[in-house]
Every structure is written in structure tokens, then in C-alpha cells.
A and B are shown apart, each in its own frame.
Chain A
């Protein structure tokens, strides 16, 4: 069964730095700006988060008791243009979706675009992988199959 892919979730931001600096701020300085208290596995118990460089690098949160939670793993490391990583904070790795953040020069400095995908069955097929398509990403894909039309994109591109 072919599942229509719901629209990816897209968000943009504009920063004054050039793309190279914006890329570095986004990754190397993640701990300084990420809203850890509300957007983390440990919430109030989260103490830090690190974005490891390069393909295979992880995004790792550390909690007050010293335990860690991996949010995802880098799939594409292409500074200063883009970084793509799996995304599964608080869920199993095999239930990951994917996030890509791209940095392009703009009159203001840099346009940052974040795209969250993986809502549906991959073209390479869940069948070959067993049960790849699990989790809410998969379920959203299933929902699109209902024929209710598209899920309302709140950030048109």
C-alpha cells in the first residue's frame, strides 16, 4: 500500500550572522541557546546538550544524575550549508524521524530553515526493513492515507 507523504514540517528563522557563523552557533553552541528546561528528555533535570561533529556524531543530553539521552545522530554534516540528523528524543532509535537544518546567505545575514520529515513509509520500503515505519511519524503518514487531504501546514513555504 502506498502511503501519501504528509507535508514536511518547516520552520524558518533569520539571523544576522553569516552562514558559517550561524552553522557554528547552531551546533557548537547548542547548549547555550536550546530551551533545555522545556524541550528535553529530562526537562528540569537536563543539565546540558552537546552536538557532536561529523557524520555519526550524536546529539546528547546529560541529566542531573549523570545519565544521558541521545536525541539523534548526524546523517549529513556539510558546514556551513546544512546538517541532517535522525530525531528520536525519548523514543527508540528505530522510531526516529529526520531533521535537516540548512543555512543560506540572505540580505539580513542567514536564512535558517528547519525541515522535519519522516512522517511516512520510506521509498526504500518498510517491507525490506521489517517494521521500520513505527511511531507517530508513521501514524501521521497513515492518517494522510485517509484521504482527509493534507494536514494543515502552519508555515507555508
Chain B
């Protein structure tokens, strides 16, 4: 009896020992799938920072453009920024504002991340959840000055995790700030006016 129990115990511990890493691995894998777009974006940003101003704006844009497309849910972000007016906007205007939003986002990255001086990104593997959304915490570590905290909010779309918002210093939501900033334009000129403004922003980034 004692032997049987001890055998069970051994078997049990063996099972537990083999199962635990498997469980941990699957948790790690889930977390890795969520943080993957963020890491991919960070790698892309480091890439254009390193080619720097020598490569020129257009070269940086053509490198970061596909990364932005694959890591952000740009159509959803556009809808969130436009807000409830979205449903009253004709399809052609919806497509135009979404295209302008995409162009502006990529252009802003290509314009801002134009030099490298030893920066690095740290991605926290621990992911926060709120409903269906996940929050990935990252830090932009700079050789000089305090690190900049950047949190990414992700949502699943077609089985893929995509970034839908960025929180600067863990407190300022990009979507919320853009909603405020664009509120008047949308109120006076709708999605068409916003398309024009986003086009101007993209053009300014290219300078």
C-alpha cells in the first residue's frame, strides 16, 4: 500500500513536473503572441533610427510603412478617432480618411525616428487585460534622460493581435488626445476636413 502510494506520488510529481513547464510555456506563448506586434514595431523603429537621416525620409517611410500596417489596426483606430460620426460618413469618405490616417501614422514615425544614439526598447512580458483588450508595457531607454514609458493597447482582429492605442508615460492616450484635437474639425467639416488635416500632418512630417 505504501509502495503504491509512493508510486502514485512519484508518478504524480513526474506528471506535475512535466505538465507545469508545459503550462508555463503556453502562458508564455500567449503572452509572446500579444507582445509580438509591439516587439516588431520596436524593431522596425530601431531599424529606421539606425539608417537615420542619411537614408532620407522616403527610405525610412518605405521601411516603416509595412511594419505599421502589420502591427496596428489602423482602420479601427481611424473609426475610434472619428467617433460616432463614422456611421454617418459615406463609404468613399471613410476610405479616404482611413488612408490619410494610415499615411499620417507612418509619416510621423518616419519623421520622428530619424536618428540613433544608443536607445533601446524594453518590453515587459507581463501583459495586463481589460475585457478583450490587452496592455503591453514598454520602456524606451535612452542613454541620457529618464526612460519614456509607452504602453500599447492591443485588440484581436481576425486572429491577430493589433495595436489600437498608445499611452504615453502610462497616462496619455493617443486616441483620446486625437479625439480632442480633431473634434472641432470633425464638427465643422466632417471626415472630409479631417482627411485634409491628416494629409497636412503627413506632409509636415516629411519636411
A and B together in one complex: no
Which A residues lie at the B interface, using CB under 8 A? none
